């Protein structure tokens, strides 16, 4: 049987979470030789995901440096991936999303004239500085890629507006596939803190905040608002797994430490994170992935950003933009904690981002594109 060599390339925690189920799916296909390359733009946070999903990369560029700049990540990935592609000679490279690894790996593949597939294609804010630099990374990969795997119909419409209409598939988001293997009602956490929190009687607020465009003043505003919310609501327990970026850790220590109901903890592995999300009361975050995961679990989300490339859950009513101003973050956080009717309106499970079958559709589309199967993949419908 004819086989194709498909190389998935990723480097950060969210890419790994969303690519792991796809690597598994590709490995199951007889027509595909699946290879995996990590840039390790993240180290510990990436390794934690690889461990949970039992993935051993074929290539590891190990590029991470403390306080790395966008240019150093891009240069090291570009040259590192060039070497890997020269050696492995894949027929198709798959990249995910919008990170510096995503952009550099796609560019390296283009320079070698290797076909590129973009997973999680077509999300846009149309503000090139928000999210920064992710909006530009994702847009540029849209120009480079030959195959575009859009999670939702709106993502395909964005690409169509830019004249990208060939090789576009609506697949759902692979994060929903990943969640189907991690969330369990009998899950036991590895720490006493998370096992002993009274999720029914306390209001557990799960927070993450790490984005580069929030560094500095916006992060100070957000964290000051979060502290005031905890101080004014005695039933709240705030749990914040703090990203390993030193910039983020310094801000969290400065604005949020020293309060007995604010729990600043190390990053959680993805199983712990998903199960904590399933039990918490409310999510406040600037993360992209959490905006997709929490709605599927019926958890209201306040987005700590000025805009989002994921409007679907806002339309569905489970996500609201809180921005980065202290007064508005405080107001909306307090409203959701105090007003049961507002909370109930937002706390219903919706799944605009996927049905858990995205990886199967992506693998089908690849096989179809390479003439290895007759039927085009069916599309994800919301
Ligand atoms: C990157 C992505 C961002 C994504 C985020 C997910 C870019 C430009 N940004 O941002 O889109 O939302 O990952 O978390 O690609 N660090 C460690 N260990 C780790 C991971 C990070 O020590 O396992 C520290 C290092 O000091 C590193 C810093 O965090 O220099 C920042 O990492 P970097 O990948 O540059 O940026 P993120 O903010 O993580
Ligand atoms: N996540 C995790 N542990 C944590 C924080 C987040 O496993 O301590 C997961 C989260 O559930 C989601 C992904 O990491 O799947 C989101 O990654 P991140 O917020 O770092 O990046 P973004 O999605 O904003 O690009």
pLDDT tens digits for range 292-307: 999 999 999 999 999 9
Residue 349's pLDDT is 87
User: Which ligand 2 atom is nearest residue 277's CA?
Assistant: 11
Distance CA 126, CA 122 (A): 11
**CB distance 280 to 199 below 8 Å:** yes
Edge-first strand listing for the sheet containing 59-60: 59-60, 32-38, 4-10, 92-96, 115-119, 147-150, 168-170
Q: How large is the angle between the packed helices 70-88 and 100-111, nearest 10 degrees?
A: 40
Catalytic, 309? Answer no
Cross-strand pairs, 321:
303
pLDDT tens digits for range 116-132: 999 999 999 999 999 99
**CB distance 213 to 245 below 8 Å:** no
Nearest C-alpha neighbor of 260 from the set 230, 289, 290: 230
Can you give the residue ranges of every domain in the chain? 4-173+354-369, 192-347
Catalytic, 210? Answer yes
Nearest C-alpha neighbor of 214 from the set 244, 183, 248: 248
Cβ of 14 less than 6 Å from ligand 2: yes
Cross-strand pairs, 7:
35, 93
Tokens in use for 53? 């999903």
Residue 294's CB: how many other CB atoms inside 10 A? 25
User: Which ligand 1 atom is nearest residue 287's CA?
Assistant: 12
Q: Which one of the listed residues 243, 274, 279, 281 is annotated catalytic?
A: 243
Catalytic, 381? Answer no
Q: How large is the angle between the packed helices 44-53 and 13-28, nearest 10 degrees?
A: 30
**CB distance 360 to 353 below 8 Å:** no
Distance (Å) of CA 346 to CA 168, 202, 350: 32, 19, 10
Distance CA 141, CA 352 (A): 23
Q: Which ligand is nearest to the CA of 211?
A: 1
Q: Which one of the listed residues 60, 98, 326, 364 is annotated catalytic?
A: 98
pLDDT tens digits for range 155-177: 999 999 999 999 999 999 999 99
- Give distance in angstroms: CA of 265 to centre of ligand 1: 17
Residue 152's pLDDT is 98
Cβ of 13 less than 6 Å from ligand 2: yes
Look at residue 155 and give its three-state secondary structure: helix
Distance CA 323, CA 303 (A): 7
- Give distance in angstroms: CA of 14 to centre of ligand 2: 5
Tokens in use for 43? 């180290």
pTM of structure: 0.98
For the 192-347 domain, the top CATH level (class) is: alpha beta
Please list, residue by residue across 188-211, b when 16 or more beta carbons sit within 10 angstroms of its beta carbon and e when fewer do.
Answer: ebeeeebeebeeeeebbbbbbbbb
**CB distance 100 to 74 below 8 Å:** yes
**Residue pointed to by tokens 């002993």:** 196
Nearest C-alpha neighbor of 99 from the set 43, 140, 53: 140
Say yes or no to pLDDT of 284 above 90.
Answer: yes
Q: Which one of the listed residues 15, 60, 120, 135 is annotated catalytic?
A: 120
What does the mean pLDDT of the chain come to?
A: 97
Distance CA 231, CA 237 (A): 10
Residue 382's pLDDT is 80
Catalytic, 243? Answer yes
**CB distance 321 to 205 below 8 Å:** no
**CB distance 206 to 284 below 8 Å:** yes
**Residue pointed to by tokens 């096989």:** 367
pLDDT tens digits for range 176-213: 999 999 999 999 999 999 999 999 999 999 999 999 99
CA dihedral 357, 361, 363, 365 (to 10 degrees): 180
pLDDT tens digits for range 359-372: 999 999 999 999 99
Q: Whose CA is nearest to atom 12 of ligand 2?
A: 289
Q: Let me know if the fold of 4-173+354-369 is the same as that of 192-347.
A: yes
Give the H or E element holding residue 64: none
Is CATH 3.40.50.2000 the right assignment for the domain spanning 4-173+354-369?
A: yes
Cβ of 92 less than 6 Å from ligand 2: no
Nearest C-alpha neighbor of 40 from the set 31, 30, 27, 49: 49
Residue 212's pLDDT is 96
**Residue pointed to by tokens 């966008």:** 70
pLDDT tens digits for range 48-70: 999 999 999 999 999 999 999 99
Catalytic, 286? Answer no
Angle (CA) 337 312 366, round 5°: 135
To test the pocket of ligand 1, the residue of 105, 210, 245 to mutate (highest count of ligand atoms within 8 Å of its CB) is 245
Residue 198's pLDDT is 96
């Amino acid at each position: 049987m004819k086989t194709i060599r498909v190389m998935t390339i990723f480097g950060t925690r969210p890419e790994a979470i969303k690519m792991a189920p796809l690597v598994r799916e590709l490995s199951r296909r007889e027509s595909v030789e699946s290879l995996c390359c990590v840039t390790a733009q993240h180290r510990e946070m990436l390794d934690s995901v690889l461990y949970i999903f039992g993935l051993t990369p074929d290539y590891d560029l190990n590029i991470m440096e403390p306080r790395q700049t966008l240019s150093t990540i891009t240069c090291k990935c570009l040259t590192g991936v060039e070497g890997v592609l020269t050696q492995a000679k894949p027929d198709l490279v798959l990249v995910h999303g919008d990170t510096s690894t995503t952009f550099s790996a796609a560019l390296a593949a283009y320079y070698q004239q290797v076909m590129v597939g973009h997973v999680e294609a077509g999300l846009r804010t149309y503000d090139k500085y928000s999210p920064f630099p992710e909006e530009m990374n994702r847009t540029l990969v849209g120009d480079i890629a030959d195959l575009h795997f859009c999670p939702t119909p709106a993502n395909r419409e964005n690409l169509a507006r830019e004249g990208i209409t060939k090789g576009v598939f609506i697949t759902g988001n692979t994060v929903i596939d990943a969640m189907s293997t991690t969330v369990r009602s009998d899950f036991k956490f590895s720490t006493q803190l998370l096992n002993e929190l009274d999720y029914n009687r306390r209001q557990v607020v799960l927070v993450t905040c790490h984005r580069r465009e929030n560094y500095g003043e916006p992060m100070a505003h957000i964290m000051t608002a979060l502290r005031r919310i905890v101080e004014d609501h005695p039933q709240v327990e705030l749990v914040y797994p703090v990203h390993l970026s030193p910039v983020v850790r310094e801000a969290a220590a400065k604005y949020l430490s020293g309060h007995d109901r604010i729990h600043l903890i190390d990053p959680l592995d993805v199983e712990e994170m998903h199960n904590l999300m399933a039990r918490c009361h409310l999510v406040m975050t600037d993360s992209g992935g959490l905006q997709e995961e929490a709605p599927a679990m019926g958890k209201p989300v306040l987005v700590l950003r000025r805009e989002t490339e994921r409007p679907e859950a806002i339309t569905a009513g489970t996500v609201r933009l809180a921005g980065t101003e202290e007064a508005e973050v405080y107001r909306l956080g307090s409203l959701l904690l105090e007003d049961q009717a507002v909370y109930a309106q937002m706390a219903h499970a919706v799944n605009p981002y996927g049905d858990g079958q995205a990886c199967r559709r992506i693998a089908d589309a690849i096989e179809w594109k390479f003439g290895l199967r007759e039927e085009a993949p069916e599309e994800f419908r919301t």
